[in-house]
Structure 1
Amino acid sequence: MNIDLLVFGEDWGGHPSSTQHLMKHLLADNEVLWVNSLGLRRPRLNLRDMSRIWDKLKALLQAPTPKLSGAHPSLVNPMALPFPGSSLARTVNKELLTNKLRPYLKDQSEAPILWTSLPSAVDVVGKMGERAAIYYCGDDFSALDGVDHAPVAAMEEELVEKCQLIIAASPKLAEKFPAEKTLVLPHGVDCEMFGQPAERASDLPDGPVAGFYGALAGWFDQELYIEVARCLPHWTFVLIGPAHTDISMLLKQPNIVWLGPKPHHELPHYSQHWDVGLLPFLRNEQIEACNPLKLREYLAAGCPVVSTDFPALDGYRDLVKVSNAADGFAAAIEEIGNTEKHRELMKEIRRNRVNRESWTQRAEDLKEMLNDL
């Protein structure tokens, strides 16, 4: 098997990232070797981190996963020390990773392209015999919640020097990198999955519902969400996703309901049927640079959207109601609930806006970038 793309990303098969979406569309014509995630922070003594360490150890004991079908890459579970600020850990990880991966790349008729969406792969760049290296930047790691910022930012700076091409998910992210080797590839959307009619989820509450799905982490504005829920006691505010921070204050509000994480393919059963989709983000550097997948997914589901303000709304502002204040946010939700007329027509307008931004089209754009490289 000749590997065309050696990819360092998050764990394959979890909640799909932009890298997973893109690679799925390249698999038909390329052999992809996917290396599961390398840590971006030191582990903490908590249940979540201990559980993740246990899962990683179990994965290491399993045999390498061969390519199962055209929809899956070959998978490698690496051994790596999750201490990005340690020079010793970086040296050890370089040896562990190169020794693990070289057998997969021997006897290649053509050198692969190395792609990483994680700065923690920096020390193997240039060691895999690759013909080119690409850094795909989907987040501002210097501000991303749950990351050891200083050491990861230093690794990113080294990575940018080593790579021949940087692909950024937003213009704001692209500003960080050398213009002469940086291109912008915005996130896409699975128009077919989110646009095809789906039955209403059985656990979606009755009555007017405003919903959010995604990780409940440091960028989610809990205070705003609680204030808005208090302003609209006759609405139910649904949350879907893993809790990566303390959400006990949210759950004390009687009209806020947390349904926990859901598989990605089940999300249309919610977003097509709640009355408003919400993007209640804090104003910080991470959100200023973000390009959230769920914005386009909400629109592809035909869902009205109320959001706090951030740059990635540009191009969609005529379809999104925007407010950073609880009273304005609540008023926008109520207005949609009271005045959303020609509902089916508006659904089609929202869907049509993002139809040309499918992951299929984004993958075609990526193929051109790879061919030029």
Structure 2
Amino acid sequence: MISGRDIIYISSIEWDFVWQGHQEIAIRFARAGNRVLYIENTGVRSPRLSDSRRVINRLGKWIESLESGGVRSIEDNLHVCSPLVLPPFGPSWRQQINRHLLLPLIKRAARKLGMRDPLIWTYLPTDTALNLVRMLRTPQSRVIYYCIADFSQLTPYRAQLRESERALIETSDIVFAQNNQLAKHCMQYNSNVHIFPFGVNLQAFPFEREENGHALGDDAVRRLQSLPRPIIGYVGGLHRHVDFDLVVQMARARAHWSWLFIGPKQTDLRELSALPNVHIFGQLPHERLVFYIREFDVCIVPYIQNSYTETVLPTKINEYLAVGKPVVSTELPSVREFNDRHKILTLTPATPEAFLRAIEEALQAPDDATARSRRRAVAALADWSSRLEKMCAIIERHLAAGSDAFHAR
């Protein structure tokens, strides 16, 4: 693991959002002895009315952090910045305000923490992120772009995003990509591209059941254990990429099954939540998810197939497998690629009849210790401990070969 560095981490999600690779990598860097400034999402598109709560939360965090120099401390070596910036792209005056008034506040926060010659790690390919990288970079800095999705599918400014991403890839010293498709895209502009799908924290999803008071005393878990079987479960954001029409039809067709959803509500769920056999728990702490997933009979990934999801390998798949659970998913290209390697998932077309048939097959398939152990073994291949060590080895080799002047703080 890298240690003793200053790392500025430009994330595409909030720190308190569903726990993913963004937070996992940042906190591991901090605990390894690096000083990390985690910059929360500066956006890919302009906010909508449905984003009003998120905007208000960001304003509150920003005001709260003013007394501490624009950052809040999460734990030793890990600081979070919640910047106020105008949306990316659009008219030139918007970029000018960001570049000359708002982004310098982030640079000031980094200086207040004493950061110098930082390693700059970004998930965002927007003009805002690119301007921030250029502002923070020094001759001794190194830039890493982690390409995790095709963000051009999330903005009306597709051409502008593709141009800013091209410039970011060209200026990056190292590019990590989630899958082959994204890697091929990045290799058009940079030869130093390495494929690293998101991993899983095996310690957060222990295979063996821990019959301790903390787990047994959870009222929500007891409620879950009392539901009619089978329990069909989903963990993750309840967003527009979930095929809710599909889920509603399936829940109606199998009214005697229990359908459980855990995650932040990011879209209208009224039709789904009105069904008596559907239970929506909302977002839960990451460390508590294992107690719920253990009660699932089948775990599902009912994503819509579109230009954005075709490059996505959901983190939840390895979390489900780590607990030894059978997984049924729609036939997303990245999920199919994953399953071609491991032969561990049940993939299905996104129709109620086919998806229900796949769930029923998973319910009837052997679910003994051998099957559960094999699922866990596949998840273990994506353990963040080994995955991040390999990523760090690439970074260290580049640092050693590329610049003798680069030094630890």
Which residue number corresponds to residue 76 of structure 1? 81
Q: Displacement of 1:156 after TM fit?
A: 2.1
Which residue number corresponds to residue 155 of structure 1? 164
| Aligned counterpart for 1:15 among listed residues 14, 18, 37 | 18
Pair 1:258 & 2:261 matched: no
1:114-125 residue pairs with structure 2 within 5 A? 114-119=120-125, 120-125=128-133
| Aligned counterpart for 2:223 among listed residues 203, 222, 240 | 203
| Aligned counterpart for 2:294 among listed residues 272, 297, 313 | 272
| Aligned counterpart for 2:387 among listed residues 351, 354, 362 | 362
Relative distance call for 1:92 and 1:253 in structure 2 (3 A) is same
Q: Displacement of 1:191 after TM fit?
A: 1.1
Q: Displacement of 1:242 after TM fit?
A: 2.0
Q: Which moved more, 1:98-107 or 1:247-256?
A: 98-107
Q: Displacement of 1:148 after TM fit?
A: 4.4
Pair 1:129 & 2:137 matched: yes
Relative distance call for 1:341 and 1:212 in structure 2 (3 A) is same
* Counterpart contact for 2:262–2:282, Cα < 8 Å: yes
Question: Structure 2 stretches of 5 or more lacking a match?
Answer: 399-409
2-structure distance, mates of 1:336, 1:195: 22
Q: Displacement of 1:149 after TM fit?
A: 4.7
1:210-289 residue pairs with structure 2 within 5 A? 210-289=232-311
Kindly provide the amino acid, as one letter, of the partner of residue 138 in structure 1.
I
Relative distance call for 1:252 and 1:189 in structure 2 (3 A) is same
CA RMSD in angstroms comes to 2.4
Which residue number corresponds to residue 54 of structure 1? 56
Q: Deviations over 1:232-269 (max 9, x none)?
A: 22211111222222222323443222222222222111
Q: Displacement of 1:275 after TM fit?
A: 0.2
Q: Which moved more, 1:112-121 or 1:8-17?
A: 8-17
Relative distance call for 1:103 and 1:171 in structure 2 (3 A) is same
Q: Which moved more, 1:210-219 or 1:251-260?
A: 251-260
Pair 1:142 & 2:152 matched: yes
Kindly provide the amino acid, as one letter, of the partner of residue 119 in structure 2.
I
1:153-192 residue pairs with structure 2 within 5 A? 153-178=162-187, 180-192=191-203
Q: Displacement of 1:290 after TM fit?
A: 0.5
Q: Which moved more, 1:31-40 or 1:291-300?
A: 31-40
Relative distance call for 1:245 and 1:164 in structure 2 (3 A) is same
1-structure distance, mates of 2:233, 2:115: 51
TM-score if structure 2 supplies the norm length?
0.82
* Counterpart contact for 2:18–2:263, Cα < 8 Å: no
1-structure distance, mates of 2:242, 2:296: 19
Kindly provide the amino acid, as one letter, of the partner of residue 169 in structure 1.
Q
Sequence identity, in percent? 28
Aligned residues: 366
1:62-101 residue pairs with structure 2 within 5 A? 62=65, 63-64=68-69, 65=71, 67=73, 69-70=75-76, 73-95=78-100, 96-101=102-107
Question: Structure 1 stretches of 5 or more lacking a match?
Answer: none
Relative distance call for 1:346 and 1:103 in structure 2 (3 A) is closer
Q: Deviations over 1:331-355 (max 9, x none)?
A: 1212232x24352322111111111
* Counterpart contact for 2:262–2:283, Cα < 8 Å: yes
